[in-house]
Structure 1
Amino acid sequence: MAKVLVVLTNHAQFDTIKKATGLWLSEATHFVNVLFENDIDVDYVSPKGGYVPVDPGSLDATELDAVNQKFYGDAGFRNRALGHSLKPSDVNASDYEAIYFAGGHGTVWDFPKATSLGKLAKAIYDNGGVISAVCHGVVGLLAVDGDDGKKFINDRKLTGFTNEEEAINKLTGDVPFLAEDELKAAGANYSKHEAYTEHVVTDGRLVTGQNPQSAKGVGEAVVKLLNN
């Protein structure tokens, strides 16, 4: 059975305002649900391992659709993904056919610095696997080095959370950087669609999604690559 490594954030609090953050739940659940429907297993890892905070906004009644309720109501998911995620040192890249960086605002603090996760992602890719990410989670690709001294994403087609979407959130001044700007600065061939509409970009064995609405589509694109 194929297996995918799902990366989640450990960062629970904005630095500049009194606001909780963490994983945006649907960006994990909607992706993983697609994998489970295709008999693909997952493990969960985070930069530090252990506890993964969930952004309270992603648990709002308006966000708790059937998929989110199924996962959040499952003790096994809460234990493995949110309570006891793996440390990077616990993980062997050769066990996985793909890696997926889930989003949430917490990721902009810990994903770009998570060089151990960047090395795992590159090893999975070099073994013929897939690198994927969604929304703010795409900043995890900033920790992945290429073979030419540049970032892995240099000159690759991708997407991620937009400046416009951050402005709609009214959080532009409260994040350490804007994902769209940082991805472009790293040399990515960045594209976007209308705010909060699904947009998935596949460039070879790299799959990225713009926002929470794109998590399911990223899962479907990853499954398609794994089945080729």
Structure 2
Amino acid sequence: MYMTKALIVVTNTAQFGSLKRPTGVWLSEATHFHQVMADNGINVDYLSPRGGYVPLDPGSIAADAIDETSWHFYGDPEFRQRNLANSLRPDQVNPDDYDIVYYAGGHGTMWDFPDSTAVAEIARKIYAHGGIISAVCHGVVGLLALQQDGQHFISGKKLTGFTNEEETINKLTDAVPFLAEDALRAAGANYSKSAAYTEHVVTDGHLVTGQNPQSARGVGLAVIAALQR
């Protein structure tokens, strides 16, 4: 298959609603997937609902959280300037240029992904021409904005995403506007999960999802496998 490019979707949300608690993209969920794309010769662009600045969840760059892959990207001035400071707006994206769209997570996504119909339309068009839709952790809530034949795109599809149990462990159940697992189930998805914070990746045709940050690299590998089918 001729591979063009991958589009990584990231949040613009820097704060937990009205709480004075910072959030943003969980860096490893972007970088681990990005690294798999790079390893397979696939160029990557970053898209956000509003374009421009992409906040990082401070927890994802804490000394005890950041790994070598994320350090590599975080230490690259071009990555920070091009992808984090100047992410693309939906109106700057031609879906025909991409075979892959990937929704990275981080709690910020809970506020701007579910209503981002412009991003969803890009994803729908990529899927319609045979491309892959993928998502990880809280990023799966971006799939809630996708419609197909008048119903939720994910209705009846096998997928996973951040679990209620994992949110409880985070002690953030009451800080988010809704729970990802509950919303995916309510939209009719055939939802599955594994033990908290263990890797779990689900492939349903050209839809690939991962449960948590531990699954981001696995989603990337599963996307490459799906492209080759």
Q: CA deviation at 1:176?
A: 0.3
Q: Secondary structure at the match of 1:89?
A: helix
Structure 2: distance between partners of 1:223 and 1:76: 25
- Displacement of 1:76 after TM fit? 1.1
Give me the whole-angstrom Cα distance separating, in 2, the residues matched to 1:35 and 1:48. Answer: 24
Which of residues 28, 44, 47 is equivalent to 2:46? 44
Residues in 2 aligned to 1:91 and 1:45: alpha-carbon distance in whole angstroms: 8
Find 2:130's aligned residue among 120, 128, 131: 128
1:188 aligns with 2:189: yes
- Corresponding residue to 2:97 among 95, 98, 107: 95
The reply to whether residue 199 of structure 1 matches residue 196 of structure 2 is: no
Whole-angstrom distance in 1 between the partners of 2:41 and 2:101 = 16
Q: Could you tell me whether the CA contact under 8 Å between 1:44 and 1:85 is conserved in 2?
A: yes
1:144 maps onto 2:127 in alignment: no
1:1-228 equivalences in 2 (<5 Å): 1-147=3-149, 149-228=150-229
Amino acid at match of 2:44: V
SS in structure 1 at match of 2:152: coil
Checking the alignment, whether the CA contact within 8 Å between 1:162 and 1:179 is kept in structure 2 is: yes
CA distance in 2, matches of 1:119, 1:165: 30
- Name the CA distance, whole Å, in 1 between partners of 2:19 and 2:46: 29
Deviation at 1:2, TM superposition (A): 2.4
Could you tell me which runs of 5 or more consecutive residues in structure 2 were left unpaired when the two chains were aligned: none
Show structure 1 runs of 5+ residues with no match: none
Identity %: 64
Say if 1:16 and 1:174, in contact at 8 Å, map to a contact too: no
Residue type of the partner of 1:81? N
Q: 4+ residue runs of structure 1 moved beyond 3 angstroms?
A: none
When the two structures are superposed, what TM-score results if normalisation uses the length of structure 2?
Answer: 0.98
Tell me, what secondary structure is at the counterpart of 1:172? coil
Counterpart contact for 1:202–1:208, Cα < 8 Å? yes
| TM-score, length of structure 1 as denominator length | 0.98
Question: Would you say how many aligned residue pairs link Structure 1 and Structure 2?
Answer: 227
Aligned AA for 1:123? K
Q: Which amino acid aligns with 2:167?
A: E
8 Å CA contact 1:99–1:131 kept in 2: the answer is yes
Query: Displacement, 1:107?
Result: 0.1
**Alpha-carbon shift at residue 17 of structure 1 (Å):** 2.3
